Amino acid sequence: MDGRVAVVTGAGQGLGAAEALALAAAGARVVLNDLPGPSLDATVDRIRSSGGEAVACPGDVADWSTGETLVKTAVSTYGALDILVNNAGVLRDRMIFSMSEQEWDTVVRVHLRGHFVTSRFATAWWRDRSKESGGPVHARIVNTASEAFLLGSAGQPNYAAAKGGIVSLTLATARGCFKHGVRVNAICPRARTAMTGDLMGPAPAGSDPLSPDRVAPLVVHLAGPAGALITGEVFVVHGDMVAVMGPPTVRAVFHAAAGHWTPLELAAALSTVFTTDPPRPGFVCEETIPLAETTFGESSSP
């Protein structure tokens, strides 16, 4: 990572802070974003006290001006931008029938719009550099999704929707910017942070298997030279485990006999697939649930 320049959002605490510290320890110079406050300054101080280079660039990550300023700060301070790690997020958990307009808008704005705004300005800068050089550049984006989008987390419709959108944004960006050298991936981390503490409970005594520090190595890997071979992928990561998710598959295909469906024919065809009463949500990825066994030492493989 020596000489590389990274922007990390949500770097004041939790996953963002752990990722920023790991990137700096690997030699990257980092621009750290979060809302203004002592936690952001504390992360900068920790990096500098360890001999690294870091600068704070506070602001609302979903503001258009913040995305533009982050890129300008990286370039004006360190002369380049090589890595973008999108991590900033909030929770406003509520069942769909109880959720307020503001609770929906706040979560989707910070997570999904926040990822878009930073990616928009970073990819524009890389595209210009690629055109100037006549070839691909070293450019990496690591986005933060969640297993909530895989499982359809019942009490987090806003969060699950935003994280599903982030995965789609990841794939579209990976496809659209590939020729310029941009590699874009998403991680679904399990980590005990201030945002998830109420859900996961207190950390155990000693080493915490759900520490954000356990997630950071994958981020560094994807951001580094080896990341050139990986793009448009989704990872689940926690503890001692990294899982590479596969793309959705087609469960079944039916064709109308006469070229168009009749109600009875369609009912007969679909009844061969949907047989459970009461029905259960089918477009979910429950295969990730047993992966928790590796975190708690119950199994050596998922």
Residues belonging to the active site: 146, 159, 163
- Beta sheet of 5-9, edge-to-edge order: 54-56, 29-33, 5-9, 83-85, 139-144, 182-189, 234-238, 241-244
Q: What are the backbone angles phi and psi of residue 7, rounded to the nearest 5°?
A: -105, 130
Dihedral angle at the C-alpha atoms of 83, 57, 38, 191, nearest 10 degrees?
A: -30
First to last CA, the chain: 30
Two structure tokens written together for 57: 């660039």
CB burial of 268-282 (b: ≥16 within 10 Å; e: otherwise) equals ebeeeeeeeeeeeee
Write out the DSSP string of 24-49: HHTT-EEEEE-SSSHHHHHHHHHHHH
Count CB neighbours of 75 within 10 A. 14
CB contact at 8 A, 150 and 160? no
119, containing H or E segment: helix 114-133
In the numeric block, which tokens belong to residue 67?
Answer: 């995305």
Q: How many helices (H) and strands (E) does the chain have?
A: 11, 8
CA separation (Å) from 279 to 146, 149, 265, 274?
A: 25, 20, 21, 8
Q: Which residues contact 254 (CB under 8 A, 6 or more apart)?
A: 269, 270
Please report which helix (H) or strand (E) contains residue 186, including its range: strand 182-189
Query: Of 179, 213, 166, which is closest to residue 62 (Cα–Cα)?
Result: 166
